[in-house]
Every structure is written in C-alpha cells, then in structure tokens.
Amino acid sequence: MTSSSSDTILVTGGSGFLGGRIIAQALAAGYRVRTTVRSPDREPRVRQNLEAMGVSAGEALTFVTADLTGDAGWTDAVAGCRYVLHVASPFPAGEPEHEDELIVPAREGTLRVLRAARDARVQRVVVTSSFAAIGYGHPQTDRAFTEEDWTDTTGPITPYIKSKAVAERAAWEFVEHEGNGLELAVVNPVGIFGPVVGADSSSSIGMISQLFTGATPGTPRLYFAVVDVRDAADLHLRAMTSPKAAGQRFIAAAGDAVSLHEIALAIRDRLGDAANAVPATELPDDVIRAAAENTPALQGMLPNLGVIRHVSNEKARTLLGWRPRSAADTVVATAESLLALGLLPTGS
C-alpha cells in the first residue's frame, strides 16, 4: 500500500517544541493531522505557533484531549489514522524522589499509545525515543555510538535517561510479541535546538539562553551532539513513510558531539555585538568543581566534564536520505530566534 499525503496521522504532544514542528511539516506536505493535548485550552497556542511557522492549519488539524497516564481519549485519537507519531513524553522539572515516578509513566504511556494503534489497525507508529536510550551508562570510548547500542540501565545514569531506555525497550518488545503486524520505527534525537516560535521549547534551549547572561567568565568542558528541530521533524516523517524504516531506529544528530565552547564561539561569530555577553573562553575543570561546592546548579554537570559521547548519523543519511543542518547553523538559528522574540536575558 503506497503512502498518500491525504492520509490522517496522529501526532501526540502537539503543544511541544518537536511535536509542533512535526505538525507544521506534515500539514505543509498535505496530510490531515490530529494531535493530542493534555488540556483543550492548549489548542489556541498550538495554532498560534503554527502560524508563526508559516502554516495556517485550518480544518486540516484537529485536537483530541488525552493524557499518557490514562486511557481516556486514545481510542478517538487513533481512529482512522494510518500513522501515529508518538512524540509526547514526560520531562521533569527536577529529579524525582524515586525513579519510578518517571520510568513508569514513560513506559506505560508508550504502551498505551501502541495498544490503541494496534487495535485501530494503524499501519506504523514512529516513537520519539532519545539518544539517552543509546549512549549512557558506558565507559568513555573513542568510537561513535550507533543504533546498535543501548544504554546500560544498570550503570550510573539519571532516572530520566533510564526512563527513555526502558520505554523504548518496552515498545520493541510489545510490537514483537503483541503488535499483530503493527510496524514500528524509532527516532533517537540528541539535544534538540533550532528556531523558537514561542515560550514552549525544549529543555536544551535554556542552555543557549544561559550563554547570554554574562554570569560566568567561560564555558565548562561539556560536549554534546545537537540536532535542529526542523531536521528532527523531517526525520520523523521519513521514518513514517519509508518502507526501509520499518523495524529500525534512527539517531537524529547534526553530526558528532561539539563542545559548549565551540557553540559559544559560533554564536559570537555570527551574532556580533548582540552576543557580547557570550563567553569566549573555556574554563578548566577544577574551576568548575570549585564553583560547584557553593552552587548546587553546577553539581549535576560534574560527571560530564570532559566526557565526549561520539555519535553517528550515518544510518539516517544512508537509509533515508536525511540531510541535517550543521551544528553551528542550528545553534545560531536558536540564538537568533530567541533574540528576535526578546527571550534572551536582559542586558544581552
């Protein structure tokens, strides 16, 4: 059966940073889109964000109220859909008292969506997992992590990282044993950056804002891979429709890990005077450790100082023809959008 842009697709978590971009690109491609929101009062904001992306949704976009923690609404949400893109995920404001506060909702929410999709005879579900399910709990290595790797959930990892690995494992096991022919593809994004159109954005965006505070004389030695939200959305749609994507995972990354220092320099270079507060130097680890003794907010980064998790995007590029923007273009576009919206710290 060939894919048609007149098909209806469900996108869970439509009010989120990534979910909104996926909806925009799907509507632009001619799909009818249904999206779930936890509360009906989120609909105007979703439509407003789409307008800011240049997309007038009109009647091609409909809303269903559904929450990952309960069954209500999911039968209506998946009814008549050919594809489901499960983007919604619980993300904590802080560390939970017990890891199950994160792990159980992530796992059960994913299974709730998969069961509804199977029962509605949906053709394929694309689950948004994370690089957190791939590259953590391992000793540092010079080789790049690929889709063959899985995070070691017995290693020293945070509850959030563990929740992503556990939820994705549960998805693959469900489709294998109870899927009844349901196809599954998974996208594993690294840190999601890119143009912001409103107050709703990924947790990664705060890292860019922090560079403009002028609060620190330099950046810590932190390394991470980035992906533009527009490219992550594009990869989801490719994973949704490509026959080659069924049964596959895809890392969504612009390229290998980059340093926070490199990111800061790219922003300073491209934004000029507007980025004068962005630090141009990199601080030694011992300086950060000393500062962390009196600054609890810094303590969480200590285990990651100097740690480079190399990552490969070759599979998505080769199998699906995906062509992401560079890390520099991505972080600069992030900063430019924050600047245009007046969302950068005062005095930057």
Cα(74)–Cα(78) distance, integer angstroms: 6
Mean pLDDT calculated for residue range 238-259: 98
Rounded to an integer, the average pLDDT of 149-174 is 95
CA distance 208 to 221: 15
Using one digit for the tens of pLDDT, what is the confidence trace for 162-218?
999 999 999 999 999 999 999 999 999 999 999 999 876 677 899 999 999 988 899
SS3 breakdown of the chain: % helix, strand, coil, rounded to 5?
A: 45, 15, 40
> Helix (H, G, I), strand (E, B), or coil: what is residue 65?
strand
Mean pLDDT of 124-136: 97
Q: Is there a contact between 250 and 188 (Cβ–Cβ < 8 Å)?
A: yes
Query: What is the set of active-site residues?
Result: 164
Whether pLDDT at 347 is above 60: no
CB 150 within 8 A of CB 133: yes
1: pLDDT strictly greater than 70: no
The share of the chain scoring above pLDDT 70, in percent, equals 95
Residue 59 has pLDDT above 80, yes or no: yes
Q: What is the pLDDT of residues 101-123, one digit of tens each?
A: 889 989 999 999 999 999 999 99
User: Is residue 94's pLDDT more than 80?
Assistant: no
Mean pLDDT of 58-64: 96
pLDDT at 348: 42
Would you say 65 and 38 are in contact if contact means Cβ atoms under 8 Å apart? Answer: yes
Is 90 exceeded by the pLDDT of residue 300? no
| Between residues 215 and 129, the one the model is more confident about | 129
Enter the tokens of residue 208. 């860019």
Domains identified in the chain and CATH numbers: 8-194+226-253 (3.40.50.720), 195-225+254-348 (3.90.25)
DSSP symbol at 282: B
> CA–CA separation, 274 vs 68, rounded Å?
41
